[in-house]
Amino acid sequence: MNDIPLCVDLDGTLTPVDTLHESMLSLGKLSPASLLALPTWLSAGRAQFKRCIAERIQIDATSLPFRQDLLEWLREERGKGRRLVLATAADQTVAQRVAAHLELFDEVVSSNGTDNLSGERKRRALVERFGEKGFDYVGNDTKDEAVWKSARHAIVVGATGLAKRARRVAAVSRVFPSSGGSLRTWIKAIRLHQWVKNVLVLLPAVMAHTILQPGVLWATLLAFLAFGLCASSVYVVNDLFDLAADRDHPRKRSRPFASGALSARSGGIAAILLMLGAVTIASELRPLFWATLGGYYTLTWTYSLRLKRTAIVDVLTLAGLYTMRIIAGAAATLTPLSFWLLAFSTFIFLSLGCVKRYTELDDARRAGKVTSHGRGYWADDLPLIMSLGTASAYSTVMVLALYINSADSRMLYAHSTPLWLICPLLLYWISRVWLLTTRGQMHDDPVVFALRDRVSLFVFALLALIIFVAI
């Protein structure tokens, strides 16, 4: 019957995300001090709490991910002449923006700063408007059971278990399956593949030829794991802070949190647990390692909140974060830091940081934008970024050549002459990376590119062989 209105929930139903949680994240990023006021706002009631946040943060409805299968069905129902109502516990300002963007709903029923339209309150509001059994309701949560009790039909967005619960209180006419985050999704979210970067903590001991000593090997493995957990925690937080920018990116929009595959709330919990794991493992190592790990974590937070939006400073910070992994490896094993290693890592990672920024900015330029969203660069800065990146790349080879010719090298390598072959190989690899970058064929992350690129893997294998022969 087309005269029965179809009422649709917003958070977790129409969109897989929770707009309140994401608004709180945006508030924390925009004004961390404002978070101190949250308890005061909450003491005034959840409806007022939502209103206070909505007044300070404007959700961009155009960038929100929506359940396309549900949207298509709703459009079909509207095409049949059915009245659609957006019934949500979100604040009225948020609900109105979503409704205006979708141009699908005839009416909006939402929290208004006084009444928090959730569960029983939502049921009473809908019954008051449409009468008992006078509406169908689309929901996704156990709180929606109260609404389904008074609905003619229940439409469930969720797993099989929720559908079974809904059938106990209402006639379920349709189910839109939705599963929680899978193991594969979580692996993608914590960017397990990025742990390869933490191999850098092994580098001081490897270059000092002490890695096979039992105590050194165990310490470096613990350091690797601690940095991996810490970095994953940072990646999760960074993705949560970058939701708007990622959703505006052609490839990053598919990331677990940006796409809504994982909720912001679960991401926050995961970030805390990952960091606790890192701290627990770090406690088994020397205090100097704790200090380095703490400095790394602090710098990554500063980068996420502020530095990534400052041109030039952002790529210098990226290079510093990579180099801090090497410093941490030396701290974990009490291996003396090599000037040559620090100089080499600073230049090579500054170049790769420039590759990353060049790729992002070039993507934005190709999409017709003059700036890279969330970054401090303009499209006209592309030549400058390339100059900085290539100059830094070739400085890396110069540092390497000077090291091979130094007394330090001759002390560690019985046959140092073969090491000179590394220079042309590195020149080729760096030049190829920048060639592909300027052609628009580079991955967002050059490290990920190197791990997937057959030519790069072949070059790395040759480099390892040369070092082995030199030893």
Domain 6-177 class in CATH: alpha beta
pLDDT at residue 304 in the model: 78
Average pLDDT of every residue of the chain = 90
Query: In angstroms, rounded to a whole number, what is the distance separating the alpha carbons of residues 159 and 242?
Result: 28
Radius of gyration in angstroms for the set of CA atoms belonging to the chain, rounded to a whole number: 27
Q: Is residue 160 scored above 90 in pLDDT?
A: no
Q: What is the pLDDT of residue 250?
A: 77
Of the listed ranges 134-148, 222-236, 238-252, 330-344, the one predicted with least confidence: 238-252
Mean pLDDT of 212-226: 92
Residues of the chain with CATH 1.10.600: 185-470
pTM: 0.80
Q: What average pLDDT does this structure show over 79-104?
A: 94
Q: What is the dihedral of CA 374, 253, 255, 163, to 10 degrees?
A: 130
Question: Which of 7-21, 368-382, 397-411 is the least confident region?
Answer: 368-382
Structure confidence at residue 308 (pLDDT): 84
Q: Is the pLDDT of residue 468 over 90?
A: no
List b or e across 120-158, with b for residues whose CB sees 16 or more CB atoms inside 10 angstroms: ebbbebbbeebeeeebbbbbbbebbbbbbbbbbbbbbbb
User: pLDDT by residue (tens digit) across 328-357?
Assistant: 999 999 888 888 989 999 999 999 999 999
Name which residue leads in pLDDT, 386 or 337: 386
Q: What are phi and psi of 10, to 5 degrees?
A: -100, -70
Among 456, 454, 344, residue whose Cα is nearest residue 408: 344
pLDDT of the residue at 193: 85
- Taking the CA atoms of residue 274, residue 278, residue 281 and residue 285 in that order, the dihedral angle to the nearest 10 degrees is 180
Q: What secondary structure does DSSP assign to 48-79, as a single string?
A: HHHHHHHHH----GGGS---HHHHHHHHHHHH
Predicted confidence at residue 370, as pLDDT, reads 62
Please tell me the distance from the alpha carbon of residue 470 to that of residue 320, in angstroms, as a whole number. Answer: 29
Q: Into which CATH architecture does domain 185-470 fall?
A: Orthogonal Bundle (1.10)
Tally of residues, the chain: 471
The predicted pLDDT at position 372 comes to 62
| Alpha helix stretches (DSSP H) within 103-242 | 120-130, 145-148, 160-169, 183-189, 203-207, 214-241
Q: Which single residue is written with the structure tokens 């970067």?
A: 197
